[in-house]
Amino acid sequence: VIKCKAAVTWEANKPFSIEEVEVSPPKAHEVRIKIVATGICRSDDHVVTGGLVMPFPIILGHEAAGIVESVGQGVTSIKPGDKVIPLFVPQCGECSSCLSTKGNLCSKNDLGAATGFMADGTTRFTCKGKAIHHFIGTSTFTEYTVVHESAVAKIDSAAPLEKVCLIGCGFSTGYGAAVQTAKVEPGSTCAVFGLGGVGLSVVMGCKAAGASRIIAIDINSDKFAKAKELGATECINPKDFKKPIHEVLIEMTGQGVDYSFEVIGRTDTMAAALACCQYNYGVSVIVGVPPATQQITFDPMLLFTGRTWKGSVFGGWKSKDSVPQLVADYMKKKFVLDPLITHTLPFTKINEGFDLLRTGK
- Count Cβ atoms within 10 A of the Cβ of residue 319 and give its class: 0-12 exposed, 13-18 middle, 19 or more buried: buried
Could you give the residue numbers annotated as active site?
A: 41, 43, 46, 62, 169
Closest to 152 in 3D by CA, of 21, 26, 58: 26
- Count Cβ atoms within 10 A of the Cβ of residue 65 and give its class: 0-12 exposed, 13-18 middle, 19 or more buried: buried
> Cα separation of 116 and 125, whole Å?
11
